[in-house]
């Protein structure tokens, strides 16, 4: 199938060709001709990342009257991020057309700015339901001439409690409109909306109803409760080029896991509801740009984060409901790219897998937790591959003769060995005596069986002793006293401050994990710590300017300690 066969006009075809679209996705191939040639309503069921925006967006652009100044299409979407994305995406499709005005309005931004943008009436309005109602009450939007009403990610909108708002909005739009509803899943409430507000809609679904994207492999790993974090790290180490989301169940868990990962030297950050909008934007941007490899997030906060091509989705804990699982795993395995979804479950949580398999209509496979040896091998190959594809800087040439001269008495293998050791000794050291995490969970299963068969009802919960190495491997924070300066920060024991928090905070504020920190001493109200002299300025500047350092004051400790 080719885009030319769908009946789209040339300006649009050119624009999407420039965006690199070659073939229409399944949902586009079905929905676009239907919208262009028929008049009925549509319920479209398709996973995230299947190209729904173009499926409805292209026919809308083709059919609106660009000479008219009325609002002709209203697109409702659950989050601010999605609204912005849809508006941006649609503007790109319209780049070859004249006189198309698209505006996005959403909560969480100063309404005055949006009021101003609405001074010129847009033909296409993209909105979150809450903000739209607000603007309707202020009589700043005009829905009398709406021809298309699109409910995008309808299931998400319901999850977010927008049902009443949606009903209010639907009642205020003309009866003669065409209504299109898109959703990844089809819960009863959606069927109700379809019944009440749509006219004999055709259902166009891609793949089976409620089925997770096909090109996702679903795995679970069995872990003990007490080794959950250790297992996560093992997995992250096993996939050195991972670009993924670690889903947690609560804000607190999200914060804890992210903080630990940061202290342990991973390129990770947290996304949760306790962050300010500016902080959330900044994390999301870093993640979008791949400046951040691992995002630790709650389901709510990750909603609307559009990131394509995740290599992995990791469920640090499984969600309570199965639809959430579908959403999470739908973030990997996007258009033509396969992805991996891995759930960490304890033996007692394993029962949750079966019902999910039924919903996604796809089996899970058990994945063994990679052994330390496997991780080392994988990392080594990864490094060799990276080395081979690297383009050495020309500036190196002038030093080469000297270096070659210095190494001339060493044989090739020995040189390789030593260069690898430079990079790898820490990792090897860490994994050398690492626990076999598979065996440790098997042991737990066995002993729980034994205790059951002895008739003991004793729960093993909370009995888990953390038997994992406590060392955080990538953290190199020991410095020579002579090269350090003593600083203090206005948080101490009374604030629950501890060394880990300090390191996490410094990582967070500076975004630089190489800053070396020496001795840390905590008094009731202050924490004193040694910092590599070379990094003091950078640290001070970061604390003075980063929003994340709000409320923290860092100063030099004068004189002797």
Which C-beta is closer to ligand ADP: that of 178 or that of 334?
334
Which C-beta is closer to ligand ADP: that of 77 or that of 279?
77
Near ligand ADP in 254-313, by CB under 6 A: 308
Beta bridge partners of 395: none
Beta bridge partners of 296: 246, 270
Which C-beta is closer to Mg ion: that of 52 or that of 516?
52
Near ligand ADP in 50-89, by CB under 6 A: 50-54
Determine, following the binding rule CB under 6 A, whether residue 183 of this chain makes contact with ligand ADP: no
Determine, following the binding rule CB under 6 A, whether residue 198 of this chain makes contact with ligand ADP: no
Q: How far is CA 162 from CA 82, 86, 128, 172, 186, in A?
A: 15, 19, 9, 16, 16
Beta strand 268-271 pairing with 294-298: parallel
Radius of gyration of the chain (CA): 28
Which C-beta is closer to Mg ion: that of 52 or that of 486?
52
219 makes contact, choosing from ligand ADP, Mg ion, none, with CB < 5 to 8 Å by partner type, with: none
Of 293, 300, 288, 287, nearest to 262 by C-alpha is 293
Cα 2–Cα 28–Cα 26 angle in degrees, nearest 5: 80
Among 32, 41, 44, 48, binds ligand ADP (CB under 6 A): 48
End-to-end alpha carbon distance in the chain: 74
Query: If binding means CB under 5 A, how many residues of this protein chain bind Mg ion?
Result: 1
Cα torsion 69, 53, 156, 187: sign: positive
Quote the least distance from Cβ 22 to ligand ADP, whole Å.
6
449-462 b/e (C-beta count within 10 Å ≥ 16 → b): eeeeeeeeeeebee
Q: Which span sits near ligand ADP by CB under 6 A: 42-50, 109-117, 269-277, 345-353?
A: 42-50
Q: Is the Cβ–Cβ distance between 32 and 55 less than 8 Å?
A: yes
Determine, following the binding rule CB under 6 A, whether residue 25 of this chain makes contact with ligand ADP: yes
> In the stretch 24-63, what mask flags binding to Mg ion with x, by CB under 5 A?
----------------------------x-----------
Determine, following the binding rule CB under 6 A, whether residue 105 of this chain makes contact with ligand ADP: no
Which C-beta is closer to Mg ion: that of 48 or that of 267?
48
Cα 17 to Cα 553: distance, rounded to the nearest angstrom: 52
Residue carrying the six token digits 């995002």: 295
Determine, following the binding rule CB under 6 A, whether residue 326 of this chain makes contact with ligand ADP: no
Which C-beta is closer to ligand ADP: that of 83 or that of 141?
83
Determine, following the binding rule CB under 6 A, whether residue 339 of this chain makes contact with ligand ADP: no
Binding site residues, Mg ion, CB under 5 A: 52
Binding site residues, ligand ADP, CB under 6 A: 21, 23-25, 28, 46, 48-54, 308, 335
């Amino acid at each position: 199938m080719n885009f030319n066969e769908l009946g789209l006009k040339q300006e649009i075809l050119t624009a999407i060709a420039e965006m690199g679209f070659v073939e229409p996705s399944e949902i586009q191939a079905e929905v676009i001709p239907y919208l262009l040639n028929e008049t009925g309503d549509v319920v479209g069921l398709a996973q995230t990342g299947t190209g729904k925006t173009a499926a409805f967006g292209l026919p809308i652009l083709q059919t609106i009257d660009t000479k008219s100044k009325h609002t002709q299409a209203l697109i409702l979407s659950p989050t601010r991020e999605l609204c912005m994305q849809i508006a941006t995406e649609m503007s790109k499709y319209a780049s070859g057309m004249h006189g198309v005005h698209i505006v996005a309005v959403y909560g969480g931004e100063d309404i005055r700015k949006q009021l101003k943008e609405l001074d010129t009436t847009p033909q296409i309005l993209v909105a979150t339901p809450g903000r739209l109602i607000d603007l309707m009450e202020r009589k700043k939007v005009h829905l009398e001439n709406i021809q298309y009403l699109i409910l995008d990610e309808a299931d998400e909108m319901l999850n977010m409690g927008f049902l009443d708002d949606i009903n209010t909005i639907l009642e205020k739009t003309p009866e003669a409109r065409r209504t299109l509803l898109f959703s990844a899943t089809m819960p009863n409430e959606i069927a109700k909306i379809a019944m009440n507000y749509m006219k004999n809609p055709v259902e166009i679904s891609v793949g089976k109803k409620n089925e997770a994207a096909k090109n996702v492999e679903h795995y679970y790993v069995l872990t003990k409760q007490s080794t959950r974090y250790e297992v996560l790290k093992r997995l992250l180490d096993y996939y050195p080029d991972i670009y993924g989301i670690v889903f947690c169940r609560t804000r607190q868990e999200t914060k804890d896991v992210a903080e630990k990962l940061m202290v342990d030297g991973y390129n990770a950050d947290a996304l949760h509801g306790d962050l300010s909008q500016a902080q959330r934007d900044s994390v999301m941007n870093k993640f979008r740009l791949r400046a951040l490899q691992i995002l630790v997030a709650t389901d709510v906060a990750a909603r609307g984060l559009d990131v394509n091509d995740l290599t992995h989705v990791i469920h640090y804990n499984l969600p309570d409901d199965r639809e959430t699982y579908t959403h999470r795993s739908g973030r990997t395995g996007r258009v033509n790219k396969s992805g991996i979804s891995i759930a960490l479950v304890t033996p007692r949580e394993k029962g949750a897998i079966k019902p999910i398999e039924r919903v996604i209509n796809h089996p899970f496979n058990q994945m063994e937790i990679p052994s330390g040896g496997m991780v080392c091998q994988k990392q080594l190959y990864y490094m060799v591959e990276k080395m081979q594809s690297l383009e050495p800087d020309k500036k190196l040439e002038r030093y080469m003769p000297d270096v070659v001269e210095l190494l001339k008495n060493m044989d090739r293998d020995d040189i390789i060995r030593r260069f690898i050791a430079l990079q790898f000794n820490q990792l090897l050291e860490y994994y050398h005596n690492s626990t076999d995490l598979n065996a440790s969970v098997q042991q737990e299963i066995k002993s729980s069986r034994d205790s059951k068969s002895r008739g003991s009802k004793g729960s093993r919960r909370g009995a888990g002793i953390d038997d994992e190495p406590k060392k955080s491997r990538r953290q190199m924070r020991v410095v020579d006293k002579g090269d350090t300066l003593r600083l203090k920060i206005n948080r101490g024991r009374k604030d629950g401050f501890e060394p880990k928090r300090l390191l996490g905070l410094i990582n967070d504020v500076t975004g630089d994990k190489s800053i070396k920190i020496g001795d840390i001493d905590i008094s009731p109200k202050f924490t004193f710590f040694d910092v590599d002299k070379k990094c003091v300025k950078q640290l001070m500047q970061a604390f003075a300017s980063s929003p994340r350092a709000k409320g923290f004051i860092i100063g030099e400790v004068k004189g002797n300690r």
